[in-house]
Amino acid sequence: MRLVIISCLWIGSHCIGQKNRIQEINEVTITYNLDTVKTQNEWEGINATQIESLQADDAAGLIRKLTSTSIKSYGGLGGLKTVSSRGLGANHSKIVADGFGINNTQNGQVNLGQIHSDNIIYIRSNSDGNSQFLHPISAQVAGSQFSLETFENNFGNEGLQFRLLAKQGSFNQKGSYGAMKFSSEKFLFSGHGSFRSADGNYPFTLVNGNQTSEETRSNNDYTDYHFGLTSGIKKGKSVIRLGYMQKEFDQGLPGAVILYNNSADERMENRDQNLFGDHVFKGNKTSLRSFIKINENHMNYTDPNYLGQNGGIDISYRNRSIQAGIAGENKLTENLKIHFGAEEVISDLLVSDTTFARPLRYHNYAILGLKYKFSKRFNLSLQLSEQFIKENNSAGISAENKFKINPYIELSTKDEPQKFGHKIWYRSSFRMPTFNELYYNNIGNVELKPEEAHQLNYGWSYSPKKYRKFQLYLRNNIYLNYINNKIVAIPTKNLFTWSMQNVQSANIFGTDFKIGSKWNVYKYLKFDIDLNYSLQHARDISDPNSPSYKDQIAYIPVHTGNIDLSINYKNLGIRFSNYTNSLRYALNENISTNQVDGFWVSTLSTYYSVILKNKNTLTFRFTIKNLFNAQYAVIRSFVMPERNYLIVLKYAFN
């Protein structure tokens, strides 16, 4: 099957206030960040200029551009979107924003559709245990993590900066974003706000056997807004930040389109509040960070047409958590470093339904590791992590306390003149069942065991000498994951009563490959190409007598890919972006009735920037999404939008 995709260009906000042409960016440099390495290789993630050119609706549109990731999207636009990395479930990954983990102990999943992309300046994925020693320990020990940096929450020395953005698109999509930031060598102050809405009533073609009909998606509207404030101060080798952010969502929950029935009346309102702060000390030999985050998530779910004795559903959920910890690194000798940390997360869940559990969880993390450089080329990393979970349910039976120790070991080498690197690593990790999996009415199972993953990876990268007009980067990973006690939902007496159970084991073999290149034809003309491909064989090997034995796990595609092609001429740019998923299955039994067709989706965007006086830039962008009008669904019966348009106007003062 076709496997690749096409998309790679653009340079947006970094050309703002610069010379009157597109400028080459070889590295992404963030003056203040939490990694032990201050300068990131641009090939390892997605930088600000690429993010602007992609014009993604949300963080999911960016993350799907990373290797070995697959996105579950329940209808597009502002709907539910979750990520699977290397065949592991969404609950086995951590999302970290500006050094603070995004937590939800109720369902464990982070809805990427509710993370706006307008303020993201860098995003990357990380499955090994390398270089992020100042991140929360809960993220360091997760099976994988996705870290992102935002414009508002990072120090710089640019002085006063403004960002204003307005967008208009198909299906009555509207959006706006505004931010002001003052950053200097000593101070940071920023404020930002954003708004999005759409009626979501997009057309689609419904196929039922030999019959087709033109339909319109319903109950797919959404309205959401974010706002926040951040302040910070630098003094000597210390940095202190304090911030607040609030997000509110009101959206319909579109149902599956089955037998011409595409109506649904469920709605969800969500309010998420976060108060966060940290202190970072970076000395000559020691780096130390302490942090705290207080979060409250309030969700209200309604279904007026639910056929129950109370004549519908109207339930509120209140998930509260406090996350506090310390993380650090110390250089003991020229060749030996240690890193360490501890974190405590306290969370509970309050529900308006009096029959629901009242869980309270204490989750402790700790980590100790070392990195030894025993020659100019070889590095050895060793690490042990600990997790202890204590659970209390005041309204019924509590889940058992859990205690786990997990190792990590890595050997890497790099030949600096040719920039040829190799890395082999092993890690084990586990994730706790969520409150819903343990206690949800008619579903929860307090006997659930934690889901454990064992990951083995070999990878290499090659970046030959940079020539004056040409750059090339190659990277490949081969990995094997073994999952024990995988948590799945199993239907029992009917499709409305399910049971959460541990399935014995799953095996995942995968590989991913990335190639990136830049070609400066002459002074003003530049071509970029970025291609990645991932293969994942994720097999259920639990029961040899099961009809799904050795079948591909539901909704994990064997093949995924991206190709991005960009052309820049002075202040004019064109980007052709493609994304593909191969055939998948809606259930673990790989039979034709469970088959979900693969798809290939293309996006074409153009932009033009006008350089104004006093470091002002005005950028106009026009994007056509699903360029070839593909009919597809990521999740069976949750149809995705056909061809649609987006117009963006952005003003920036640097």
Predicted confidence at residue 187, as pLDDT, reads 93
What does the alpha-carbon distance between residue 312 and residue 309 come to, in Å, rounded to a whole number? 8
What does the alpha-carbon distance between residue 558 and residue 561 come to, in Å, rounded to a whole number? 10
What DSSP character marks residue 66? S
Are 60 and 54 spatial neighbours (Cβ–Cβ below 8 Å)? no
What does the alpha-carbon distance between residue 105 and residue 399 come to, in Å, rounded to a whole number? 14
Predicted confidence at residue 481, as pLDDT, reads 95
Residue in this structure with the two tokens 């469970």, named with its chain if needed: 594
214's enclosing H/E stretch is: strand 211-216
Nearest one of 162, 177, 170 to 224, comparing CA atoms: 177
Distance of CA 579 to the CA centre of its chain: 16
Backbone angles phi, psi at 137, to 5 degrees: -65, -35
What DSSP character marks residue 109? -
What does the alpha-carbon distance between residue 142 and residue 139 come to, in Å, rounded to a whole number? 5
What does the alpha-carbon distance between residue 87 and residue 510 come to, in Å, rounded to a whole number? 9
Contacts 24+ apart (CB under 8 A), 265-269: 265/219, 265/303, 265/304, 265/305, 266/219, 266/301, 266/302, 266/303, 267/219, 267/301, 267/302, 268/299, 268/300, 268/301, 268/302, 269/299, 269/300
Residues 6+ apart with CB under 8 A from 264: 218, 219, 252, 253, 254, 255
Predicted confidence at residue 574, as pLDDT, reads 94
Residue in this structure with the two tokens 């050895």, named with its chain if needed: 380
Number of neighbours of residue 358 by Cβ within 10 angstroms: 16
Are 60 and 84 spatial neighbours (Cβ–Cβ below 8 Å)? no
What DSSP character marks residue 14? G
CATH class (in words) of the domain with range 13-653: mainly beta
What does the alpha-carbon distance between residue 231 and residue 229 come to, in Å, rounded to a whole number? 7
Name the percent of the chain in helix, strand, coil, to the closest 5: 5, 60, 35
pLDDT < 70 positions in the chain = 1-42, 78, 130-131, 207-209, 257-264, 308-310, 416-418, 442, 489-499
Are 298 and 316 spatial neighbours (Cβ–Cβ below 8 Å)? yes
Q: State the pairing for strand pair 93-97/144-150.
A: parallel
Could you tell me the two tokens for 452? 């454990």
Burial class (CB within 10 angstroms; exposed 0-12, middle 13-18, buried 19+) of 408: buried
Phi/psi-derived region of residue 51, left when phi > 0, alpha when psi is between -120 and 50, beta in every other case: alpha
Residue in this structure with the two tokens 């399935």, named with its chain if needed: 503
Nearest one of 1, 11, 2, 4 to 574, comparing CA atoms: 11
What does the alpha-carbon distance between residue 473 and residue 197 come to, in Å, rounded to a whole number? 39
Residue in this structure with the two tokens 């076709």, named with its chain if needed: 2
What DSSP character marks residue 629? -
Predicted confidence at residue 31, as pLDDT, reads 43
Are 560 and 510 spatial neighbours (Cβ–Cβ below 8 Å)? no
What DSSP character marks residue 137? H
Q: What angle do CA 110, 49, 167 make, to 5 degrees?
A: 70
pTM above 0.85? Answer: yes
Predicted confidence at residue 258, as pLDDT, reads 58
Predicted confidence at residue 486, as pLDDT, reads 81
Predicted confidence at residue 584, as pLDDT, reads 92
Burial class (CB within 10 angstroms; exposed 0-12, middle 13-18, buried 19+) of 338: middle
Burial class (CB within 10 angstroms; exposed 0-12, middle 13-18, buried 19+) of 135: buried
301's enclosing H/E stretch is: strand 286-303
Nearest one of 499, 625, 634, 594 to 82, comparing CA atoms: 634
Buried b (16+ CB within 10 A) or exposed e, 626-644: bbeeeebbbbbbbbbbbeb
Dmax over CA atoms of the chain, in Å, equals: 73
Predicted confidence at residue 490, as pLDDT, reads 57
